[in-house]
Chains A and B, each alone.
Chain A
Amino acid sequence: MTDNLRAPLAFAFMGILLAIVGFTQSWSVSLSIINLCLISSIMAIGVNLQWGYGGLFNAGVMGFTALGGLTAVLVSYDPVYEAWDKAGIGILISAIILISSITLVMFAYRNISSPQFRNTSIVLIIIAALIGINNFYGPSIDVIESINPAKTGFLGGLGLPIVFSWVIAAFVAGLVAWVIGRITLRLRSDYLAIATLGISEIVIAIVKHEDWLSRGVKNVSGLDRPVPYEIELQQSEWFINLVERINYATLNSVQTISSRQELLNDLIIVSSGVFVKLCYLGLFLSVLLLIFYLSHLALNSPWGRMLRAIRDNEVAASAMGKNIFAQHLQIFIIGSAIIGIAGAMLTTLDGQFTPGSYRPLRFTFIIWLMVIVGGSGNNLGSIFGGFFVWFIWIEAEPLSIGFMNLLASGFEYDNPIRIHLLGSAAHLRLFIMGLLLLLALRFMPRGVIPERIQKK
């Protein structure tokens, strides 16, 4: 099989898989899978830019995703004015103390030459900052969290349309990536992996425990939607007409008026769900195509060629006077920003922000799997990987349960082995993912759609 045929064949295969789901389960399920596939593909492109083009291992994809999700909340949720009135000032003062103390510590670290004096002043700054923050922060969060705790209990957001958050999420994730990158990218390559693993755990800890910011594990639900609500659609004239027109033949074959009305109502309900998903699909697909197009432009520019030159031979590239660090930092920031966008999109799709659901397996390692299976160094491959791996991930669950049922079928109903087997189905999914990663690395290290070898 020539390399040129691989991509169309891979996507055709994916299309067939999704169509099978559409026919056997329902088109609504198929569309839900596609929407998550699209988001996964965007994340995979972000990771691919970092790994496939830059050779950087980001083990903290989860953290950047969660930052995107948090941004979605903070941009779109209406501000809780009462909380701002009563305690906003305390939080602001704490933030100012935090930022100024970090600036002071950095200033002291860089500019005080006597080590003894430098270290004492840094320690003193930190102690002063801790005391200051303790005075304002604790009482303020108590006040915030006590205001209508069942519904809000946090500061809320800016009350802007949620689509704005997709852009802002890119900046937030990029900013965090800049900090991490500056610290670790000069060092050996695994340090970046470990540092990103750490920062992502911290981001998750913050969104889980800082209730005043994100309501923590109480979740923020009822987020603003960029697309219409099903219930609105079901009541709007144009939508009912549209459904009627599409299903004209089916409806006319029904005899009585009342059963026709009943069927129409059913069709409207089903169609409204499908319509909403299609709206999301349109939005996500545009973002994916835009990101794909922009990265295509960037990677085929001199900048992109330099990036690959560095990845392939760091020593030679640095001998040629290329600034490896700056290039790595740029690609790391860009990749993380894209992951941030996808994170915000995911929260938008869910309509809620659930810090407890961020697990490294689901949000970091699955994305890696997508990049590796798809073909690192090829964005088209990442898109395919996003679709394929997400599909496997979704379908592995019923498959595991089915497999376990098969294994357990020989046992009595209340046999402990049977109960254990059935209870362990979820772990089989982990196993499948791990095996997929190992098999891909071993037998298809270049992925399904490999990187095109550039002619010199």
Chain B
Amino acid sequence: MDNFELVNALVLISNFVLIPALSYGSQLALATLSLTIIYGVLRFSNFAQADWMSFGTMTTILFTWYLQSLGITGGFLPTALIALPFAIILTALFCLLIDRSVYSFYRKKKSQPIVLMIVSVGVMFILQAIVRFIIGPNDRKFFDGEKYIVHALEFKDYFGLSEGLTIKSTQLITLIVAIIAMVSLFYFLQRTKMGKSMRAYSNNEDLALLSGINPERVVLITWVIASALITTAGVLYGLDKSFKPFTYFNLLLPMFAAAIVGGIGSPIGAVIGGYVIAFSEITLTYAYKKFFIYLLPENLEPSGLVQVLSTDYKFAISFIILVIVLIVRPTGIVKGKII
């Protein structure tokens, strides 16, 4: 085995496993942060989360189209990034409307979390209907701007390798936006008075009331932040792949799995969980045949695909990891709320 083979193998893995997993993981981490914050403050598992993500992404797409029709584009960046802040505001307002008309009733009644969870199923239906009604159930691509940062062919020519490395601009954008979002979220939660009061409310509601923390204010901020996170996650995912309501709905299980694996209610846990699920999904469904062909001598080369699970079972991986965590460490990696 010469060095080129090794480099080729590494490039191959970076191209098909590491980079995609990093960007998918960042998207999932943002979505899971949203889920976990809702869980921590409002104390229920929000089944409408995935369709809420669809809703946010849909609003972004609509704003993008509007901007494009005005002749405003992001240049080499996707126009959706300009549309994003507007979409976040609209999505947050919509969420607050739903909160006022639906959730707040049960919150005031101090209903059990499981009742709120069922209520969120109802909201899920309605969001699904709205999204499908407005933008339809089909695949939408809304990416514009520069597509590649590093192109496979150029990379091959430049380094004289037989494997190419592609870095899509959406992957870099995802990473940068996700880092900005996470850093500002953690700064907010750890350093600002409002953020601390959110954590305090999540930790001990009665004592927060006794300390004069206004619960409705905390709930409002929570919906706004969670809307911002989920919309951003949805837009990044949609830019990277494409937007389709049903595909988004299928992200519900990975989100829950990531939240529980990380420790539900814990923001750091959500980030860790997001990456764990994304990396497992991609590493376990990748066919390593070519990788081993590079690395192993000819007589040992594998005949099959060398794939642990077929991509048909991608979300089964979320589930399997979820089950393992529930058996081995039900509190999650970072200790979350268990009762």
Residues of B within 8 A of A430 (CB): 125-126, 128-129, 132
A190 interfacial contact with B, CB 8 Å = yes
Q: At the interface, yes or no: B118 with Cβ under 8 Å from chain A?
A: yes
Find out whether the CB atom of B326 lies under 8 angstroms from the CB atom of A434: no
> Are B256 and A57 neighbours in the complex by a CB distance under 8 Å?
no
A361 contacts the other chain (CB 8 A): yes
Other-chain contact of B132, A183, A184, A190, A424 (Cβ < 8 Å): A424
B114, A55: Cβ atoms under 8 Å?
A: yes
Interface class of chain B by DSSP = helix
The complex places the Cα of A88 from the Cα of B119 at a distance, in Å, of 47
> A209 on the interface (CB 8 Å rule)?
yes
Give which listed residue, B114, B250, B253, contacts A189 with CB less than 8 A.
B114
Q: Mark A326-365, 1 if CB is under 8 A from B, else 0.
A: 0000000000000000000000000000000000010001
Chain A: residues with Cβ within 8 Å of the partner, total of 43
When the two chains form their complex, are residues B338 and A188 in contact, meaning their CB atoms are under 8 A apart? yes
CB distance from B139 to the nearest CB of A (A): 16
A438 engages B330 (CB within 8 Å): no
Q: Mostly helix, strand, loop or mixed at chain A's interface? A: helix
How many chain B residues sit at the interface, stated as a range, is: 35 or more
B129 & A198 in contact (Cβ 8 Å cutoff) = no
Q: Which of A10-18, A153-161, A200-208, A222-230 contacts B (4 or more CB under 8 A)?
A: A200-208
Residue of B nearest to A208 (CB): B312
* CB atoms of A427 and B327 under 8 A apart: no
Closest chain-A Cβ to B245's Cβ sits at a distance in Å of: 10
- CB A450 to nearest CB in B, in angstroms, measures 16
Contacting pair A190 B45 (CB below 8 A): yes
A368 interface hit (Cβ, 8 Å): yes
Kindly identify, within residues 135 to 159 of chain A, every residue whose CB is under 8 Å from any CB belonging to chain B.
138
A456 within 8 A of B: no
> B319 touches which one: A130, A188, A198, A433 (CB < 8 A)?
A198
* Cα separation A429 to B126 with both chains bound (whole Å): 10
Residue A27 interfacial (CB < 8 Å): no
In the complex, whether B122 has a CB less than 8 A from a CB of chain A is: yes
A134 in the interface, Cβ–Cβ < 8 Å? yes
Partner of B125, one of A186, A424, A434: A434
Q: Which residues of A contact B330 (CB under 8 A)?
A: 186-187, 191
A359, chain B: closest CB distance, angstroms: 9
Q: For the complex, is A197 an interface residue (Cβ under 8 Å from B)?
A: yes
* A190:B117 contact, CB within 8 angstroms: yes
Residues of B within 8 A of A191 (CB): 260, 326, 330
Q: Which residues of A contact B133 (CB under 8 A)?
A: 424, 427-428, 431
Chain B residue numbers with a CB within 8 Å of A205 are 312-313, 315-316
Chain B's nearest CB lies how many Å from the CB of A85? 24
Residues B123 and A438 in contact, CB atoms below 8 Å apart: yes
A residues 53-107 near B (Cβ < 8 Å) are 55, 57, 59
A193 contacts B by Cβ under 8 Å: yes
B117-156 contact mask (Cβ, 8 Å, vs A): 1 or 0: 1110111111011101100110000000000000000000
Most B CB within 10 A of own CB, among A208, A429, A433:
A433
Contact with A along B29-45 (1 / 0, CB 8 A): 00000000000000011
Q: A183-B326, A209-B310, A427-B132 are in contact. Are A193 and B45 (CB under 8 A)?
A: yes
**0/1 per residue, A245-259, Cβ < 8 Å to B?**
000000000000000
Q: How far is the CB of B287 from the nearest CB of chain A, in Å?
A: 12
Is A394 in contact with chain B by the CB < 8 A criterion?
A: no
In the bound complex, do residue A201 and residue B304 qualify as a contact, i.e. CB atoms below 8 Å apart?
no
Collect the chain A residues with CB atoms within 8 Å of residue B296's CB. none
Q: Which of A55, A57, A138, A199 contacts B304 (CB 8 A)?
A: A138
B253 contacts A434, CB within 8 Å?
Answer: no
Q: Say yes or no: is A195 at the interface (Cβ < 8 Å to chain B).
A: yes
Q: Does B179 contact A (CB under 8 A)?
A: no
Other-chain residue from B122, B313, B338 in contact with A437 (beta carbon distance below 8 A): B122
Known: A57-B118, A198-B315, A433-B125. 18 other contacts (CB 8 A): A130-B308, A189-B114, A190-B114, A190-B117, A191-B260, A194-B256, A194-B257, A198-B318, A198-B323, A202-B319, A361-B128, A427-B129, A430-B128, A430-B132, A435-B122, A438-B102, A438-B122, A441-B119
CB-defined A-B contacts under 8 Å, sample of 13? A59-B47, A183-B327, A184-B326, A187-B330, A195-B326, A202-B315, A365-B125, A424-B133, A430-B129, A431-B133, A434-B125, A434-B126, A441-B118
Q: Which 5 A/B pairs are nearest by Cβ-Cβ distance? A: A434-B125, A431-B129, A198-B319, A437-B122, A430-B129
